[in-house]
Structure 1
Amino acid sequence: MHARAVAATTTALLGTTLLLPTSEVRAVGAYDRPLVVAHRGASAYTPENTLPAIDKAAALGIPWVENDVQRTKDGELVVIHDDSLQRTTNVEEVFPGRAPWKVKDFTAAEVARLDAGSWFGPAFAGTRVPTLEQYMRRVEHNHQKLLLEIKNPQLYPGIERQTLKLLGNEGWLDHRHLASRLIVQSFSADSVRIVHDLKPGIRTGFLGQPSTADLHQYAGFADLINPSHGTLSAGYVSTVHAFTGPHGSPLRVFTWVVDDAARARTVAGYGVDGIITNKPDVVREALDAS
């Protein structure tokens, strides 16, 4: 069994300078309460990766949101999960002859024409794919915190530096944001390493489950190891916690995507530090009731 003191968590989670409000650190049985992170915003209730999705998370009282960043043909950073616009917009209708409708093949102006809400429900008709700049300004307006995923970096050479430049322009690379409001993650270890090398003060996460034999390598550039909940065990979480990350604190674990109460309680029992979920209210209530 792996128990950690609340006081240690508030000073060590994601680095010694990251201080979490006491409302975000609560006991789950013998364990500290994991952070609840709204996956692509509150995406069970609103179109994912849109401004309404982060507004819904804010309305639910969820401080942390997660998003995905990609790049248009003319170099604009936009918030969308798939490398194709097909699933979450009406791109087939607006640009019928341009299959397979890859984000990288459309200009920012073309993406801005698309409806990114009607697929989810008529109440969201006319919702747009936000630029990262628009998204960051809404997150700041909502006083939220961001787990930013660099998506498909192999498709967008230099996207790490470009993303950091935009974050800096928006004021998100100052001490206050770096200490408690920003984590950058990717499925690409190379991309995470690039972010760490470019801006060592940023907390970073690797999406995946490296072998325990390889964890020492990831500890050189990642503060978190973020596996799928389906492959997770208490033993693996405990092993991750035994390593010290680049900021001198134990490596942490966020797991994804957990939407039901029973599974939320299970992974909390493993000792995870964060749960990424489409239904943040459900997960929060499950942890509150434990």
Structure 2
Amino acid sequence: MSMRRALAAATGVLLGVSALTLTASPAHAAARQDSMSDRAPTTVAHRGASGYAPENTLAAVNKADKLGFDWTETDVQRTKDGELVLMHDTTLARTTNVEKLYPTRSPWNVSDFTAKEIARLDAGSWFSDDYKGEKVPTLETYLKQISKNGQKLLLELKSPEIYPGIEYQTLRELKSEGWLDSSHLKSKLIIQSFNADSVKMTHVLNSRVKTGFLGNPKVSELDSYAKFTDQINPTHSAATKEYVEAVHARKGPLGKRMQVLTWTVNDAATARKVDAAGVDGIISNFPDVVRDATGG
């Protein structure tokens, strides 16, 4: 999508929502099934299996697939010319060779580079020479790969406050790639963010999409969050039994019990601890370690 189209989408977001089939009847929402297990917690490969391959690359998601993991988490941001790409940091410096290729363009923000410029970057060598030449994927490329793998997607809108309209644009991309059909909405897609307003906007634009809020609101605030998010996804230190039970006591906008996905758990002892607290899912750089510890 060009920048002009992206800005037009952002400006006309509430006028154009019908183009996405954005609403669902209460009966349809109530009929949906939970996509996370009600028993052992579901293990989610964080930025792909990022303990074993460079994060947010096709190599990482393919590694998760080889390890046997359906759920993969990734982060989406927008380039200067309006393309959606996968990157965790708002700067390209940590996980690419951007400083070498573009030494005068500090601080190397994702939003300051075009998609073509980002496509030139090496996003693998920082992790290991084995991954030299790995690229920063576009969201479109990533969706095609995980579709081919038969995987599911926990998609984080990263720093959406600096990308006006990214919720609408992301939903358009998901729709274009077939990710807003009933099958995907039922059990294959969750959109989350640390930004509550962004989660709210995602819910407004498509009330059938399962959403998650990254953080741990006060128990007294959970009822207000339950109006627009189906999950509360806190860091593992906040995922106590009492907090998880408080979240589970409420129903989200899809009419199902609210869920808890916790992050980022990379060792067996912590995995067993949050499992005992009753979490629904565990996000990990080393998903096989978590799976072995919990049976999830």
Aligned ranges 1:70-219 → 2 under 5 Å: 70-219=77-226
Going from structure 1 to structure 2, the CA distance change for 1:50 and 1:192 (only over 3 Å counts) comes to same
State the SS of the aligned residue for 1:210. coil
Aligned residues: 268
Report the TM-score, using the length of structure 1 for normalisation: 0.90
Q: Are the equivalent residues in 2 in contact too, given 1:208–1:225 (CA < 8 A)?
A: yes
State the SS of the aligned residue for 2:260. strand
Q: Are the equivalent residues in 2 in contact too, given 1:264–1:287 (CA < 8 A)?
A: yes
Gaps of 5+ in 1: 1-13, 27-31
Q: Are the equivalent residues in 1 in contact too, given 2:239–2:279 (CA < 8 A)?
A: no
Report the TM-score, using the length of structure 2 for normalisation: 0.88
Residue identity opposite 1:174 in structure 2: D
- Separation in structure 1 between the aligned mates of residue 248 and residue 34 of structure 2, nearest angstrom: 18
Residue identity opposite 1:229 in structure 2: H
RMSD after superposition: 1.4
State the SS of the aligned residue for 2:75. strand
Partner of residue 269 from structure 1, selected from 276, 281, 288? 276
* 1:19 Cα deviation from its structure 2 partner: 5.2
Q: Are the equivalent residues in 1 in contact too, given 2:78–2:163 (CA < 8 A)?
A: yes
* 1:72 Cα deviation from its structure 2 partner: 0.2
- Separation in structure 2 between the aligned mates of residue 230 and residue 157 of structure 1, nearest angstrom: 32
Partner of residue 264 from structure 2, selected from 248, 257, 271? 257
State the SS of the aligned residue for 2:186. helix
Q: Are the equivalent residues in 1 in contact too, given 2:71–2:153 (CA < 8 A)?
A: yes
- Separation in structure 1 between the aligned mates of residue 152 and residue 40 of structure 2, nearest angstrom: 17
State the SS of the aligned residue for 2:59. helix
Match of 1:48 in 2: 55
* 1:18 Cα deviation from its structure 2 partner: 2.8
Q: Deviations over 1:126-185 (max 9, x none)?
A: 000000000000010000000000000011000000000000000000000000000000
- Separation in structure 2 between the aligned mates of residue 155 and residue 189 of structure 1, nearest angstrom: 14
Q: Are the equivalent residues in 1 in contact too, given 2:193–2:199 (CA < 8 A)?
A: yes
* 1:16 Cα deviation from its structure 2 partner: 4.9
- Separation in structure 2 between the aligned mates of residue 232 and residue 241 of structure 1, nearest angstrom: 12
Instruction: Report runs of 4+ in structure 1 exceeding 4 Å deviation.
Output: none
Residue identity opposite 2:176 in structure 1: N
User: How many percent identity over aligned positions?
Assistant: 56
Gaps of 5+ in 2: 1-28
Residue identity opposite 1:17 in structure 2: R
